[in-house]
């Protein structure tokens, strides 16, 4: 590897990229960065680079096939559905993510949404501001100890979500076909199949990657199986939910509430039907955020690139 290897940051939402620049230059490389969004912009900027750090831009088949020198692509975040993994594999390019930088923040945000909706805080606040002072909830409100808090997925974040929920007295459940039974048993989590979890969960949190198999795992059919009082939470990937189906279910009282931090199309479009659902709490993809988590993300992404380019083993390879 040349002492002046080149690293490109295709796009970023941070105040600056000083941390990445420092780490790359200390390792003997040079950092290039910008806000490249289109295929043509990325291809032009990536000409001759040895590594790419990408946040939200899409690294498509065309983009990846243009990378003649690239050794590694690092997704600056947990999900990696904006990178064409198959083409990267064909080109012999390593793909990594940063799976462990905001575990606490996302778990905290997920639980905050769940508790807010389960206690009907927003609806009761709105009612009170209109001069309606009732010492009763808007709809049925069971005690937490009588509710099942479940996750679809039982990875790092899901485990922390459920651990937090445990402190509030919920019964804990999860669906994850890739996690061994002893993990469920050790953590005191009821293992359920997908059909059962749709039927029994009072609060259902989606904590899984977006793939061709998981896209629209929440759809008209799955929503119809859920309790009319159930709550859906999504702090993972917007594409896990069919937005039209969820909006319809909320408006027609098929389910009770939804707490969403991610959406199929971001920024959230102002004509999205979910905006008309008064029984939904919407946040703007901020679950990952804390002052500490941002710097940690930038540092970990750059460290993974440097490891690869100086001949060390990468830590978080996904392809």
Residue 82: name the closest of 106, 49, 53, 105 by CA. 53
Q: Is 90 a catalytic residue?
A: no
How many structural domains is the chain composed of? 2
On whether both 142 and 226 belong to a single domain, the answer is yes
Residue 179 and residue 70 in one domain: no
Average pLDDT, the chain: 97
Query: Are both 13 and 131 inside the same structural domain?
Result: no
Q: Are residues 93 and 217 in the same domain?
A: no
Q: Is residue 318 part of a domain?
A: no
Same domain, 173 and 303: no
Give 240's contacts (C-beta < 8 A, 6+ positions apart): 206, 208, 210, 214, 215, 216, 217, 218, 234
Whether the per-residue pLDDT at 255 is higher than 80: the answer is yes
Instruction: Decide if pLDDT at 1 tops 60.
Output: no
Note whether residue 74 is domain-resident.
yes
pLDDT given at position 3: 59
Residue 319 domain-assigned? no
Confidence of residue 4 (pLDDT cuts 50, 70, 90): confident
**200, 246 Cβ separation under 8 angstroms:** no
Catalytic residue among 25, 185, 195, 266: 266
Structure tokens of 56? 């939200």
- Has residue 147 got a pLDDT over 80? yes
Same structural domain for residues 118 and 252?
yes
Is the domain of 273 the same as that of 299? Answer: no
**What CATH number does residue 80 fall under?**
3.40.50.720
Longest dimension (CA), the chain: 71
Q: Which of 32, 127, 285, 307 is catalytic?
A: 285
Mean pLDDT of 45-53: 98
Could you read off the pLDDT of 66-117 as tens digits, one per residue? 999 999 999 999 999 999 999 999 999 999 999 999 999 999 999 999 999 9
Average pLDDT over residues 242-269: 97
How far apart (Å, rounded) are the C-alpha atoms in residues 55 and 77?
7
- In this prediction, residue 2 has a pLDDT band, given cuts at 50, 70 and 90, of very low
Determine the Cα–Cα distance for residues 100 and 102; give it in Å rounded to an integer: 6
Determine the average pLDDT of the residues in 271-289.
Answer: 97
Taking only the tens place, the pLDDT of each residue in 188-229 is 999 999 999 999 999 999 999 999 999 999 999 999 999 999
Q: Which of the residues 237, 264, 303, 304 is marked catalytic?
A: 237
Is 166 known to be catalytic? no
User: Same domain, yes or no, for 94 and 108?
Assistant: no
Domain that residue 127 falls in: 103-282
Same domain, 59 and 187: no
**Catalytic residue status for 109:** no
E strands present in the chain: 6-9, 30-33, 51-54, 72-75, 94-96, 148-152, 171-175, 190-191, 203-206, 231-234, 257-260, 280-282
User: Are 135 and 71 in the same domain?
Assistant: no
The mean pLDDT value for 22-51 works out to: 98
Beta strand pairing status for 203-206 and 51-54? Answer: unpaired
Residues 262 and 120 in one domain: yes
In a domain, 1, yes or no: no
Tokens of 127: 């009612």
Contact criterion met (CB below 8 Å) for 79 and 210? yes
- Asked, for residue 316, whether it belongs to a domain, the answer is no
Residues 117 and 91 in one domain: no
17 within a domain of the structure (yes/no): yes
Binning pLDDT at 50, 70 and 90, where does residue 36 land? Answer: very high
Report helix, strand or coil for 102.
coil
């Amino acid at each position: 590897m040349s002492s002046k290897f080149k690293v490109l940051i295709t796009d970023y939402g941070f105040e600056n990229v000083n941390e990445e620049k420092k780490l790359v230059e200390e390792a003997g490389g040079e950092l290039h960065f910008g806000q490249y969004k289109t295929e043509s912009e990325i291809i032009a900027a990536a000409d001759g680079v040895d590594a790419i750090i990408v946040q939200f831009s899409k690294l498509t088949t065309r983009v990846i096939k243009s990378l003649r020198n690239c050794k590694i692509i690092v997704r600056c975040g947990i999900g990696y559905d904006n990178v064409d993994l198959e083409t990267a594999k064909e080109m012999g390019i390593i793909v990594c993510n940063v799976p462990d930088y905001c575990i606490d923040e996302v778990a905290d945000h997920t639980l905050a949404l769940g508790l807010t909706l389960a206690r009907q805080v927003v609806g009761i606040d709105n009612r009170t501001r209109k001069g309606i002072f009732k010492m009763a909830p808007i709809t049925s409100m069971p005690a937490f100890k009588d509710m099942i808090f479940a996750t679809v997925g039982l990875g790092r974040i899901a485990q922390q979500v459920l651990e937090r929920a445990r402190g509030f007295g919920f019964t804990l459940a999860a669906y994850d076909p890739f996690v061994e039974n002893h993990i469920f048993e050790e953590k005191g989590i009821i293992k359920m199949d997908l059909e059962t979890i749709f039927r029994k969960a009072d609060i259902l949190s989606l904590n899984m990657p977006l793939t061709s198999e998981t896209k629209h795992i929440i759809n008209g059919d799955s929503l119809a199986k859920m309790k009319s009082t159930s709550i859906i939470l999504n702090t993972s990937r917007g594409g896990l939910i069919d937005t039209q189906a969820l909006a319809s279910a909320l408006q027609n009282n098929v389910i009770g509430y939804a707490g969403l931090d991610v959406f199929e199309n971001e920024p959230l479009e102002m004509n999205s039907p979910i905006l008309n659902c008064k029984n939904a709490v919407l946040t703007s993809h901020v679950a990952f955020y804390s002052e500490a988590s941002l710097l940690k993300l930038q540092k970990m992404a750059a460290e993974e690139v440097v490891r690869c380019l100086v001949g060390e083993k990468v830590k978080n390879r996904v392809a």
